[in-house]
Structures are given as C-alpha cells and as structure tokens.
C-alpha cells in the first residue's frame, strides 16, 4: 500500500496508535484527517468530531469529510476501548455493552458510512484494527476479546464481499502497545514508535498483506495453530489475581 499520496481518515486517531499512525501517513506526504470525540488533543492535523456509538454523529462526520475531501481513499477504523471486567459481578454488563458498542458496532457503522464512497471510486483501502487478544483471550478483558474476534470475522467477510470492487481490506493486529494506559501496567508493551516502524514496513509491502502482524503479535495470532494456546491462556489467566477478592 502506498502511504505517501493518499487521503486518509483515521477514526480513533485522536490519541495513541491512531494518532501515531496518522502522523506516519502525514510525514510520508498523505493528507490526513483524524476523528474522535475529543479533537482538542490534536493540533497538528485536521480533525473531525465523531462518536462511533452515535449513528447521526458518524453520518455528519462522513458528510463533512467527503465534502472537504472527495478524494478520500483510506479509512481506518481505530476507535476502541479496553475495559476490564469481573464476570462474577453482573455489574460488568455496562462495560460489555460499551465495549461492543464502540469496538464492534462502531467499526461496522464507520465501514458502512464510507463503503459506498470507496466502491463508487473503485479504489481505496479499509484498515480495521483488532488485537492479539482477539486470537488469544486475555481473561481480564472478556468483552474486549469478543469484540476484537468479532471485528476479525467481520473483516474477513468484508474482504470477500468487496473483492473485485477495487477496495482492499487490511486488518491491523497489534500486540500490547505502550498506549491507553498499557505503558503503566504492562512492561512488555511495545514502545509506540518501534511498533509503528514495523507496521509501516509491513503496510507498505506490495501486495499489502491481509493482516499486519508485527513480530511480537505472532505468538498470539498463531497460538492455536502452534499448539501453544492452552499454555499461554493459563499464563494470561494469572492476571485475574488483580480482581478484588481473588
Ligand atoms: N494499546 C494496546 O495495547 C492495543 C493492543 C491491541 C489493539 N489495540 C487497539 O488499537 C486501537 C487504538 O488503541 P490505543 O491503544 O491507541 O488506545 P487510545 O489511545 O485510548 O485510543 C483510542 C481511540 O479511540 C477513540 N474512541 C474511543 N471511543 C470512541 C467513540 N465512542 N467514538 C469515536 N472514537 C472513540 C479515542 O478517541 P476519543 O477519546 O477522542 O473519542 C481514541 O482516538 C483500539 O482499537 C485498541 O483496541 C490497542
């Protein structure tokens, strides 16, 4: 994928991985718009206010972006929340609802908003964002893993449905990255810059791989195939000791 001469919208680009990726596209020469609920954090890139849980907000943002940038040809669905849940306490349900609303339904809503434009153009890229946790659960974040496994399955179906339409569908599968508070709790989280170096290296290959899986994400992505799933899941289950009363 060329990243130097594109017009890119990164929904969920107002912080963390999305903002970092936006700056990589911009530094390479592309026109970049970042979206999120809080655009005040970004002053070096064009931004648009969007709440992916609100259908009207998504359509308003879509109309605004396409009016200003009719040549938009890359859409990245980066919006996500990472919430812990204690499944022995039914009060977790609110976190489950928020997680599915943002990570899964929000992704679908943004893709729906821009697919007609990209298909009419007959050229473009959709980049979805899942997680290693979508392939190897992290038991502290049950609905998060479910949402990302859902986005993975959806991405595969989207790629099949858009085949022949000129629209490429790519899935970014990050491992733990030192953003969104991970830097405070997970010493193994990858520094953002190094992670983005690897992502850009993979993204710019020709043809673009269907999945962008940096080295540190490989063991999660392929645990089931490699026969390491049960052992890794047991090790990751030790994180449950962080829950109250365990
Ligand atoms: N960090 C990791 O270890 C890791 C690992 C694997 C996958 N990922 C995935 O990578 C993506 C980015 O994560 P990150 O670590 O960069 O987290 P982050 O810094 O918290 O960024 C999350 C982004 O999502 C946006 N967002 C949240 N709720 C939204 C809503 N209702 N409507 C629109 N945008 C919303 C936020 O913008 P506003 O607050 O401005 O709305 C922000 O731009 C997520 O999908 C996450 O699941 C992260």
Distance 81 CA to ligand 1 centre (A): 6
Summarize the confidence of residues 128-156 as an average pLDDT.
98
Distance 164 CA to ligand 1 centre (A): 31
Per-residue pLDDT band at 146 (split at 50, 70, 90): very high
Distance 51 CA to ligand 1 centre (A): 12
Q: 2 in a domain, yes or no?
A: no
- Nearest ligand 1 atom to the CA of 50 is 33
Domain residue limits at 182:
7-242
Q: 1 in a domain, yes or no?
A: no
pTM for the full model?
0.97
At residue 187, the pLDDT reads: 85
At residue 72, does pLDDT exceed 90?
yes
Is the four-CA dihedral 206, 208, 211, 215 of positive or negative sign?
Answer: positive
Q: 103 in a domain, yes or no?
A: yes
pLDDT of 154-213, one tens digit each? 999 999 999 999 999 999 999 999 998 878 888 889 999 999 999 999 999 999 999 999
**Ligand 1 touching residue 51 (CB < 6 A):** yes
Per-residue pLDDT band at 90 (split at 50, 70, 90): very high
CATH code: domain of residue 131: 3.40.50.720
Per-residue pLDDT band at 113 (split at 50, 70, 90): very high
Q: Closest residue (by CA) to atom 45 of ligand 1? A: 80
Number of domains in the chain: 1
- Nearest ligand 1 atom to the CA of 129 is 45
- Distance separating alpha carbons of residues 215 and 210, to the nearest angstrom: 16
Q: 190 in a domain, yes or no?
A: yes
Q: 118 in a domain, yes or no?
A: yes
Residue 100 CB neighbour total at 10 angstroms? 17
Q: Pocket of ligand 1, candidates 20, 79, 134: which has the most ligand atoms within 8 Å of its Cβ, to mutate?
A: 79
Q: 197 in a domain, yes or no?
A: yes
Q: 223 in a domain, yes or no?
A: yes
Say what percent of the chain tops pLDDT 70. Answer: 100
pLDDT of 214-244, one tens digit each? 999 999 999 999 999 999 999 999 999 989 8
Distance 143 CA to ligand 1 centre (A): 15
- Distance separating alpha carbons of residues 48 and 39, to the nearest angstrom: 7
Could you list the active site residues? 144
Q: 35 in a domain, yes or no?
A: yes
pLDDT of 26-66, one tens digit each? 999 999 999 999 999 999 999 999 999 999 999 999 999 99
């Amino acid at each position: 994928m060329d990243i130097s001469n594109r017009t890119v919208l990164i929904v969920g680009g107002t912080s963390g991985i999305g903002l970092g990726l936006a700056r990589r596209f911009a530094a390479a020469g592309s026109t970049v718009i970042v979206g999120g609920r809080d655009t005040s954090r970004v002053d070096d890139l064009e931004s648009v206010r969007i709440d992916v849980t609100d259908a009207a907000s998504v359509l308003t943002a879509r109309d605004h972006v396409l009016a200003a940038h009719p040549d938009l040809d890359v859409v990245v669905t980066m919006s996500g929340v990472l919430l812990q849940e204690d499944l022995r306490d039914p009060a977790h349900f609110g976190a489950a609802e928020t997680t599915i609303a943002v990570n899964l339904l929000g992704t679908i809503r943004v893709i729906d908003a821009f697919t007609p434009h990209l298909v009419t153009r007959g050229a473009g890229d959709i980049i979805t964002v899942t997680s290693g946790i979508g392939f190897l659960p992290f038991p502290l974040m049950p609905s998060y893993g479910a949402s990302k496994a859902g986005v993975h399955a959806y991405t595969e179906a989207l790629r099949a449905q858009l085949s022949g339409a000129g629209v490429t569908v790519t899935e970014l599968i990050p491992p733990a990255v030192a953003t969104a508070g991970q830097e405070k709790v997970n010493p193994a989280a990858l520094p953002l810059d190094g992670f983005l170096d690897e992502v850009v290296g993979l993204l710019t290959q020709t043809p673009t791989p269907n999945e962008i899986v940096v080295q540190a994400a490989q063991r999660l992505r392929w645990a089931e195939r490699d026969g390491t799933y049960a052992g890794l899941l047991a090790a990751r289950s030790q994180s449950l000791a962080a829950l109250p009363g365990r």
